[in-house]
Structure 1
Amino acid sequence: MSAVAAIVLAAGRSTRMGAANKLLCPVDGRPMVVHAVAAALASRARPVVVVTGHEAEAVEAVLPPGVTAVRNADHASGIASSLRCGLTALPEEVAATVVLLGDMPRVGAVAIDRLVALFEEAPHVAAVAPTWRGEPANPVLIARRLFAEVMRLEGDQGARRLFAGRGDVLTVATDDPAMAIDIDTPEALAALAARDSA
């Protein structure tokens, strides 16, 4: 059985959230980033690597035990540098990694484990990419065979741009709306709270 890791991207500057660091905003009484990290820890994925950057000390202070935190000194350049940091921190025996976003607090361990299971059933694939109602969703699984290409990305380019036109990317529709909910603005945070209380 192949080893599959998890990388939680938690380095962004939260520019659309105003003065607050969105990853530290409370959701259900816990900082937002803790939900993504807890989901990774509750899944089969190991190790769990958390990439920090903006306000790194504050973010690392709320992380639960059992994770490896790595700091991206170049986080202001965009998501590509955080992906590189996360991949560099993985042990050689890791065959793939699930990449989670720290601002998606409703993604659970079940969603992560489904990606892992799909990869184990088709270990030849370069990635497992979920969709929600026809639109790209997160997290995604990236196999080691794609790591070198991800390492060459620059700026605010995520790994998904590498999936287009490839025959070895497994695209799977999900019925889990949590995989389409990311929190970028105060309005989105308020909407999440309203949805939960409805």
Structure 2
Amino acid sequence: MVSAIVLAAGLSKRMGNENKLLLPYNGKTIIETTLQHLLDAGIEEIIVVTGHEAQLVSTTIRHLPVIIIYNPLYEKGMTTSIQKGVEVAAGSGYMICLADMFSITALEYISIITAFETQLQNDEKCICVPRYKNEKGNPVIFSAAYRADILQHKEMEGCKKIVEQNKTHIHRIDMQTPHILEDLDYPDDYKKISME
């Protein structure tokens, strides 16, 4: 089983006054859309890590069968949210998902997880990184062999250094669409999807 750890704690600073995860999209919010794709992929354990506007985010998603945990250290950086998720994750792999990457489809999540599960049989320390036309994207899946490394990680902006230090264990997954590169940072990004 792969545990999906969905990072939903950020401040959305670049979006101005809006919390981008709560913006409407196709009758749902951005975060609900992301979580629905993960649920449609059949992922059994989805852990949503909240921080900024935690109460609002939790209220928005509490009807979904996901585990919601609060990260009181979220302002220190993304790594603290990853660590909070890993602390409770029970899977053989940790798929680190960004809550604003709502365009990744259930089938794409399935293909990434299937590639990880296949690779794990050959390499218990594998790290799976999706890419589109040689550009690395998200979500990255870490084998649970990295649990201690992640929990002790000191750099606050994610686990890139762990990936760099374990290059021989990286397995790249070629994707057919750029969805794994597409997140929502600026008001213009949201305007574009609103007009689609």
Distance 1:191 1:153 in 2: 36
Distance 2:28 2:154 in 1: 32
Whichever residue aligns with residue 65 of structure 1, its letter is L
Q: Quick one: percent identity of the two aligned structures? A: 26
Whichever residue aligns with residue 25 of structure 1, its letter is L
1:108 aligned onto 2:109: no
**Residue 40 of structure 1, CA deviation:** 1.3
Residue 43 of structure 2 corresponds to 45
> Is contact 2:21-2:100 (8 Å) kept?
yes
**Residue 62 of structure 1, CA deviation:** 1.1
SS, match of residue 109 in structure 2: helix
Deviations 1:5-52 (A, max 9, x none): 111110000000111111101122211111111111111322111000
SS, match of residue 167 in structure 1: helix
**Residue 89 of structure 1, CA deviation:** 1.5
**CA distance 1:29–1:142, change in 2 (3 Å):** same
> Is contact 2:5-2:49 (8 Å) kept?
yes
Residue 131 of structure 1 corresponds to 131
Could you tell which deviates more after superposition, 153-162 or 165-174? Answer: 153-162
Aligned residues: CA RMSD: 1.4
TM-score of the aligned structures, taking structure 1 as reference length: 0.91
| 1:118 pairs with one of 110, 115, 128 | 115
Q: Determine which structure has the larger helix proportion and give its number.
A: 2
TM-score of the aligned structures, taking structure 2 as reference length: 0.91
Deviations 1:136-169 (A, max 9, x none): 1111111101222222223542123322251111
**Residue 115 of structure 1, CA deviation:** 1.5
> Is contact 1:126-1:144 (8 Å) kept?
no
Distance 1:114 1:170 in 2: 13
SS, match of residue 79 in structure 2: helix
SS, match of residue 170 in structure 1: strand
Deviations 1:97-131 (A, max 9, x none): 21110111111111111121112211124211011
Structure 2, unmatched stretches of 5+, are: none
Structure 1, unmatched stretches of 5+, are: none
1:20 aligned onto 2:21: no
Distance 1:100 1:137 in 2: 10
How many residue pairs align between the two structures?
A: 191
| 2:30 pairs with one of 29, 32, 40 | 32
Distance 2:58 2:143 in 1: 27
> Is contact 2:98-2:138 (8 Å) kept?
yes
> Is contact 2:48-2:85 (8 Å) kept?
yes
| 2:56 pairs with one of 55, 58, 61 | 58
